[in-house]
Every structure is written in structure tokens, then in C-alpha cells.
Amino acid sequence: MASSDRAEGFSPELRASLFHFTVFASTGAASAYLAIWLSGKGLSSEQIGVVNALPVLLMLFVTMLIGRLADRASDWRVAIIILALIAGVAPIGFFFVNEFWGLLLVFTLSTLPSGALVPVIDAATLRMTQRRGTDFGSVRAWGTVGYMVTAALTGVLIGWLGAVAFVPIFVVLSLLRSGLAFPLPQFRAPPAIDAPVRKRDGAKLKALMKPWFLLPCIAFALIQATHFFLGAMGALVWKIDGIPEGWIGPLIAISAAGEALMMFFWRRVGGHLSARMMLIIAGVVGCVRWGLMALNPALPLLIVLQALHAITLPFSYFGMMLFIANWAPEEIAAEAQGFSAALTQGFAVVTLLAFGWLIGIMGGQAYFVAAAMALAGAGAAWWSLLLKPAHSRDEGLAHA
């Protein structure tokens, strides 16, 4: 192990895990209470949909650019630190705004950089664990743990202190992410040891733009967009359907707990599946999950449906990560993940805007649309397999 891979006794995996814990922490707090807090500020469900959708829309135009710049830097951590700093300072603006446009601006400035750093840290962590022979899933799982813990604690703290606690919680979590970005390790191999020379005219993303590659990206975008709806509007739907507010945080935590558990044991669970088969499984289970959720289930069944998150998100996430890692060279790793993220964000924008409108018309039955999206995602991944069948050498977990 190179000496640069350690800092004061903390391994690169530990430092990356600590940062991953904070990556989705503010998102967990927002999932637990943002929609309700915005509703208390007088925003309609359509306006709340716009607040959630605008940052995702803007990420369509910046994610690939940021990924390209991050790939060209000496190490991906440079871009991660800059984005984390911006995302840490911006939420302070919530203390000074109360109307729709001000809230929209602050939330956009807070979530745009935090969302843009996700494909960069994912690509960087995956490449680092591959070269070191360690487990990417066990590092990435701490992101879900952070989401789970903050979602649950936010619900508890707001139930105890009231709505006034939401903004301070969101700001503290955002600043914590900024602070833990600085100890991140060097993700690329030291050039003098074994890293290949990165050429300006090297691999190009456009060489991968073929139907068999694009279809899994579309599949992931469709499936993941349904999770965006749950994260942004699920708490409001549950409140409308009569679920007590005290259960909203725990319900979100249940899904995150299942996701984290699956990630910690991913090598045992998904080690014999091809990347696109993971996407198919996620889409089929997602169709069942959202279809039943549209029927306004009682709390016990809702708990079970939330537990299915252990399949719908990890299977789709790892399927997409491994698919891209197997086919995209390292010199375009962040850009390729950025392309997938941008496509996903495009679907998410449409989903958030449409579901904000559909909730006003259909209420919780809007989940039927999410079920159809998940099934379409499974179909897209299956179509890709028909065009280019998977082989263990190409898509197996050991190779990825």
C-alpha cells in the first residue's frame, strides 16, 4: 500500500465512508420534512414540485460538464471539495427567505452542487476500490446509512422541537459534508506507480452511444425517477392519506435500512447476476411496490412496501454502476457516470413536475404511473440484453 493511501492511520476506505455518510444526509432531512415545511410556508403541491424539479433540471446541463472537468483534474477529489463547499454555504440562505421565489433559489443553490458531486464521488470510489481490491458496496452503503439516520432523527427532532428545527438541521448537515470532503483520499493511482497516462485525445463517450448501451441508461433513469418521486413527494402523499406525521421519518428510515443492509452484503447477494439482470429485477419489483402503494395501503403493508426498497434501489444502482464501469475507460469514468446521471435527472424533472400535478388530481393513485415507469425500465434492460447478451467477463461483479 502506498504511503499516500493513508493519512494518520485512517484508510482511504474509512475516509471515503465517512464522507459518503454525509453525501445524502441533508437529502434525508429534506425527504422527511421539506415538502411539509414548504406546505407550511404556503406553497401548493404544484409549487413544491417545481422547487424539487428545478435543481434536477439544471443538473441536466452541468453534470456531464462537471464530470468532464473532474476527469481532467489530477484527482477527482478536487471537484468534490469545491462542490461540497458550495453546497454547504448555500443553505444558510433559508434563514432569510419565506416566499416561493426565494425558497426556490436557495434550494436550487443548495442541491445543485450536492447532486452534481454524486456521480463524481461514485465513479471515484468505485475506481479506487477496484484498484485496491476492496468492497465498493460496503463504502457506498454508508451513504444510505447517513440518509437513514438523518431522516429518522429529523422526524424525531421536528416532532420534539417543531417545524422551526428543520432549517438548522439542514444547514448543519450540509456544512458537515463540506468539512469531511477535505480528508478524502487520493482516488486515482499515483502516476509514478501504475496509473495510465491520460491523453487529451483518448477515449470518447460518443463511442459508447449505441442502443445496447443507451437502453440500460434509460432503464435506470425510469426506475430511479420513481424514487425521486417518493423522496420529494412521498411524505406529503402519506400525510394526505392519513399516515401520522410521527411515522413518516421511520417509514423513510425503513427503506434506507433495507437499502444499506443490501449494500453491505452485495457481493453475496448480487455476485452472480449480470448488471442488466439487476436492472430487470429492480424494475419488476418496483412495479409491484408502486402498484400496491397506489392502493393507499394500511400502515403494516406500507412498512413491507418500504422494505422492498432493499431491492428496487440497490439492484438498479449497482446494475448501472457496474454496467458503466465495465464499458467506460477510466479516463471518462466521471463523464460516463455524469451522462447516466443527467439522463436520470431528465426523467426525474418530468416525474417531479408531472407528479406534483397528478397528486392534486389523483392523490396517492399517482403511484400507478410510477409502477408503469418501473416496468418500462425492466423492459428496456431486457431489450439491451437481446441486442448484446451479457457474459460474466463483461458484467460479472468480480470483473466490475
124 or 268, which is more confident: 124
Residue 270 pLDDT: 66
Distance (Å, rounded) from C-alpha 381 to C-alpha 388? 11
Query: What confidence tier does 191 reach under pLDDT thresholds 50, 70, 90?
Result: low
4 belongs to a structural domain = no
Mean pLDDT of the chain: 82
5 belongs to a structural domain = no
104 belongs to a structural domain = yes
**Residue of 398, 383, 269, 271 whose CA lies nearest to 326:** 398
221 belongs to a structural domain = yes
- Please count the CA atoms within 13 angstroms of the CA of 65 that sit on its side-chain side: 6
pLDDT one-digit tens code per residue, 252-295? 778 878 888 888 888 777 667 888 999 999 999 999 999 999 88
Is the pLDDT reported for residue 249 higher than 80?
A: no
Contact (CB, 8 A) for 16 and 125 = yes
Query: What confidence tier does 104 reach under pLDDT thresholds 50, 70, 90?
Result: very high
Distance (Å, rounded) from C-alpha 272 to C-alpha 200? 36
Q: Cell numbers at residue 140, please?
A: 457506498
Contact (CB, 8 A) for 62 and 342 = no
Q: Cell numbers at residue 180, please?
A: 469531511
What CATH number is attached to the domain comprising 88? 1.20.1250.20
110 belongs to a structural domain = yes
50 belongs to a structural domain = yes
Q: By residue range, what is the domain housing residue 382?
A: 13-188+206-395
197 belongs to a structural domain = no
Residue bearing cell 456521480? 119
Query: What confidence tier does 355 reach under pLDDT thresholds 50, 70, 90?
Result: confident
Q: How many domains would you assign to the chain?
A: 1
125 belongs to a structural domain = yes
pLDDT one-digit tens code per residue, 32-69? 788 888 888 888 878 887 888 788 778 877 877 887 78
What is the distance of C-alpha 337 from the center of its chain? 12
